[in-house]
A and B are shown apart, each in its own frame.
Chain A
Amino acid sequence: NAGVTQTPKFQVLKTGQSMTLQCAQDMNHEYMSWYRQDPGMGLRLIHYSVGAGITDQGEVPNGYNVSRSTTEDFPLRLLSAAPSQTSVYFCASKTTAQNSPLHFGNGTRLTVT
């Protein structure tokens, strides 16, 4: 059982480049989300989805796009990378049962130069 799989694990981009961080889960979870982790700031919610075809903004959505065409996949797109987007990105999923925990991927470390 793979759980939540994120690719790539590391990425270096130049300012202005675009890329997609991939996230897939095999647990049939309805809810998926993206967080970024920065030193001294904990994890902050970027975007989330409560099911296929439904997405919504979190706390820090600017500069990021998402889509949810299937239950399994929830890619995060950076259209024009900026140095401020240098961070560690986590994808997470859960069932919609209210006290169920988030299951996290292993993260992607992104550096924008």
Chain B
Amino acid sequence: AQTVTQSQPEMSVQEAETVTLSCTYDTSESNYYLFWYKQPPSRQMILVIRQEAYKQQNATENRFSVNFQKAAKSFSLKISDSQLGDTAMYFCAFMRKSSGDKLTFGTGTRLAVRP
């Protein structure tokens, strides 16, 4: 079974600064997908960024980028120029290519952006 570990339950960052959220996973699969989801206080789950394991290039979406280290099974999220609206719970998620679309989530990191 796959496991996803987010070792930072809470983090805080000053507005306009950069913060990195950590995620590690355990799998014996070689083909899979990784995701970061954001859950603001509204409770809505919003996809932030996704990475395909066979792609070596790190995914980037505006101020959000990942550092994907396949050998180390690490998938960290970097948020640049943090904004107050980035305050949320962030979940890392893993999906095997052969899993029938089932996602395994980490326990989440609560990020607070300070004004």
- Point out residues on A near B: beta carbons under 8 Å: 31, 33, 35, 40-45, 48, 50, 56, 58, 88, 90, 92, 94, 96, 98-99, 101-102, 104, 106-107
Hey, which chain A residues are within 8 Å of B100, CB to CB?
A: 48, 50, 56
Q: Which of B83-114 contact A (CB under 8 A)?
A: 91, 93, 97, 100-108
Contact B107 A42 (CB under 8 A): yes
Task: Indicate if B62 sits at the interface (CB-CB under 8 A).
Answer: no
A107 to B42 alpha-carbon distance, docked (Å): 10
Q: Using A106-B43, A106-B44 as known contacts, say yes or no to A41 and B107 having CB atoms under 8 A apart.
A: yes
Q: Which residues of B contact A35 (CB under 8 A)?
A: 105
14 contacts between A and B (CB under 8 A): A40-B107, A43-B91, A43-B93, A56-B100, A88-B43, A90-B45, A94-B101, A98-B33, A101-B35, A101-B50, A106-B42, A106-B43, A106-B44, A107-B45
Chain B interface, DSSP helix/strand/loop, else mixed = loop
Say yes or no for B16: interface residue by CB 8 A criterion: no
The number of chain B residues with a CB under 8 A from chain A is: 23
Least distance between B95 CB and chain A CB atoms (Å): 8
**Contact between chains at B43 and A107 (CB < 8 Å):** yes
* Among B42, B43, B52, B105, contact of A42 (Cβ-Cβ < 8 Å): B105
- The reply to whether B43 and A45 contact each other, CB–CB distance below 8 Å, is no
B11 within 8 A of A: no
Q: Given A99-B33, A101-B35, A106-B43, are A42 and B101 also a contact pair (CB < 8 Å)?
A: no
Give the chain A neighbours of B107 by CB distance below 8 A: 40-42
